[in-house]
Structure formats: structure tokens, C-alpha cells
């Protein structure tokens, strides 16, 4: 997410596309389809807008990644309680 934000701040479309593509790949490991979709859309924004990317989809990407983080934390918490009670 930091690389995406830096690319947006620098108005660097190619860097935005590359960072979003990398994030999309990482998200695929978690089957986070909503976040993957938003990462893909963010990457398209970088490709289509050249060196001056507009980032209308970035806030939604942040929301989707935050949802994934929350779900992962809840899963880890649940698993740690289950393992402790065995």
C-alpha cells in the first residue's frame, strides 16, 4: 500500500500500475476478491493515466485491504483460542 501511495503522490502511472499488480498478486493468496478487484482497478488507473494517475479507486482499495486485515486478525485470534483449548 505504501508503494501505491508513493506512486500516487509522485504522479507516477507506471509505478502505480506495478505496485498495484504486485499487491493484486499478494492478495490472491488470501482469495480476497474485493481487494484484488480494487487493486486491479488501481493498476488500470496507473496504466491509463500515464504519468498523472488520478486515484479515484484508491480509497476503496484501502477499505478492502482494511477488511482483509480485520478478517485475518479475527481468524488468527480464533485459531489461537482453539489451539489453546485443545
Q: What's the rounded mean pLDDT across residues 77-86?
A: 78
What residue numbers bound the domain in which 45 lies? 2-84
Q: How many domains does the chain have?
A: 1
Distance CA 3, CA 18 (A): 9
Q: What's the rounded mean pLDDT across residues 45-51?
A: 75
Tens of pLDDT, residue by residue over 50-74, are 656 556 788 999 999 999 999 999 9
Q: How confident is the model at residue 85 (pLDDT cuts 50, 70, 90)?
A: low
Distance CA 80, CA 42 (A): 35
Q: What is the pLDDT of residue 26?
A: 96
Q: What is the pLDDT of residue 63?
A: 95
Does the pLDDT value for residue 16 go beyond 70? yes
Q: What's the rounded mean pLDDT across residues 15-43?
A: 94
Q: Say if CB 17 and CB 51 are below 8 A apart.
A: no
Does the pLDDT value for residue 33 go beyond 80? yes
Q: How many residues does the chain have?
A: 86
Amino acid at each position: 500500500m505504501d508503494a501505491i501511495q508513493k506512486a500516487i503522490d509522485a504522479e507516477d502511472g507506471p509505478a502505480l500500475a506495478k505496485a498495484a499488480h504486485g499487491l493484486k498478486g499478494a492478495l490472491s493468496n488470501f482469495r480476497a476478491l474485493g481487494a484484488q478487484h480494487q487493486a486491479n482497478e488501481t493498476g488500470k488507473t496507473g496504466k491509463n493515466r500515464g504519468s498523472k494517475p488520478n486515484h479515484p479507486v484508491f480509497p476503496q482499495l484501502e477499505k478492502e485491504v482494511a477488511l482483509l486485515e480485520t478478517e485475518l486478525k479475527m481468524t488468527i485470534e480464533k485459531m489461537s483460542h482453539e489451539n489453546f483449548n485443545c
